[in-house]
Chain A
């Protein structure tokens, strides 16, 4: 693909991207840090004053925090898709994105993992979630989907971290060669003394394949398990068998959009146009289109099936989503997730960076709203009309949500300047 770029050129191009934090980077980091600090302060406020400061109450006990959790876990998915699944399918365009996407996975999971704790209220009791022998002689309830979540998300995080680190090892050794002083030493230590002898490489090759093979089912299962938090209940709108693949497709959809949101500016600011060719971005756009079609298919099935049977509660739930209190959010979601991405059938738009960037932002908005609509609408209108009520997020919830974006972008900005944003070794191999 990029055979015209010599190996030393690849190294210097990617490594110079790590140097010289410019004013744009500093401003970005400052803004993101500020948002994050605001979010932290609001969380502290919530811990001090109790869950009353959040808008969640009877009957809508799951609100923005759970929406955020589902959203961020979803964002993580495309990182694994790009790094593991595309590796197994031997898709060459993955090398342009895998490092950034894997980093995104890690950061998104870190952010996602915070939300159950924020939602928990008494956050200092979080360790009750883990099965360990304790004085109370209690064990966790393995029949509860919330415990599956603990296992799924922590497994996902650890496996992604190992995968990310293993991919980095040779590149850290390269970075060490280009850096002098303490930074160089640190990179060298982090590379575990990698010298690239044949013994290392041959086990490394197998390891990478095995990790990809282990991570591939995770792409499909983690968000399935998240979807079962909802679907194993019998609440109308939640109890439906399509939830697992529907959530997985949505996760990859939103994650792919986030990859575009991050990579398009990164490519420009760090001058990596040569290493991330437009053809590869087009391939990512195709994934976006495919997952958008699956998500649209799920919308049609979900709504069609509600009126296929004779279940009044299901019918009312889906009527409420489309025409009720939250209908505006519902229609924005339909536009952003199922209608606008259809424009990607046009080749010229698939290759227009400006269009892709705007679309990726809209998709993220749409996917956040999708989770909100799913979580909130079903709780707001369940079986008994006496048990109905609408929900409005409180400023604390909105602030913590913004703070989570701050944390995510701050982490990504730090990543961009501390680690090679492209896999140098794989670029050379390409």
Chain B
């Protein structure tokens, strides 16, 4: 049977977490639920940074390239001189690239977040499992993990 421990304050929770880890319980047997993010808990239990940054970088680069190319290729496709500016006007096209960097970057970050944290999660909806206001430390049995 997994054991569940409840705490009201982050300090008590972290203290217990450290005690469990020091007692030799492996990380994979510990599960934590928090009312707000604690970096210490992340360091203790996982210890490697989130992979979300690749989504930010990838989305940003794709947005920049995509935006610039969109502006450039459509202008080349329908080449009409306006305002005496060259067909491929780099400064305004950089602006489009910049805006799409932000748009695609944020959206891909959001998508990456949903993917990495396995949301939306129908489980809690079906089983009526609420978002607990306390700090919960679950210690699983050896075989359960």
Residues of chain A at the chain B interface (Cβ within 8 Å): 7-8, 11, 131, 137-145, 148, 151-152, 154-155, 158-159, 162-163, 166, 170, 173-174, 176-177, 188-189, 191-207, 210-211, 213-215, 217-218, 221, 225, 425-426, 428-429
Contact = CB atoms under 8 A, between A and B. Distances in A.
B60 to A, nearest CB: 8
Q: Is the interface of B mostly helix, strand, loop or mixed?
A: helix
B85 interface: yes
A195 B107 CA distance: 23
Nearest to B68: A142
Q: Is the interface of A mostly helix, strand, loop or mixed?
A: helix
B145 interface: no
B121 A195 contact: yes
From B41, B49, B124, residue with most partner A Cβ within 10 Å: B124
B46 A202 contact: yes
B116 A137 contact: no
A11 B36 CA distance: 13
Contacts of A154: 103
Nearest to B119: A192
Interface residues of B, number: 64
B45 A221 contact: no
Given A143-B82, A170-B131, A197-B31, A205 B99 contact: no
B77 interface: yes
Given A193-B119, A214-B106, A207 B133 contact: no
From B41, B83, B102, B119, residue with most partner A Cβ within 10 Å: B102
Interface in B75-105: 75, 77-78, 80, 82-83, 85, 89, 92-93, 95-96, 98-100, 102-103, 105
B125 interface: yes
A131 B130 contact: no
B99 to A, nearest CB: 5
A206 B110 CA distance: 10
Contacts of B50: 202-203, 205-206
A210 B119 contact: no
B33 A198 contact: yes
A209 to B, nearest CB: 9
25 contacts: A131-B74, A142-B93, A142-B96, A143-B83, A143-B85, A154-B103, A159-B102, A188-B125, A192-B119, A192-B120, A193-B125, A194-B119, A196-B33, A198-B42, A202-B37, A202-B50, A203-B50, A203-B117, A204-B37, A207-B113, A210-B56, A211-B106, A211-B109, A214-B56, A215-B102
A213 B83 CA distance: 35
Given A137-B78, A151-B100, A206-B49, 18 more contacts: A131-B70, A140-B74, A142-B74, A142-B96, A176-B130, A192-B120, A196-B33, A198-B42, A199-B116, A201-B38, A201-B42, A203-B117, A204-B117, A205-B39, A207-B113, A210-B52, A210-B109, A213-B56
B3 interface: no
Closest 10 CB pairs of A and B: A173-B131, A193-B121, A192-B120, A139-B74, A142-B71, A207-B113, A155-B103, A206-B52, A206-B50, A201-B37
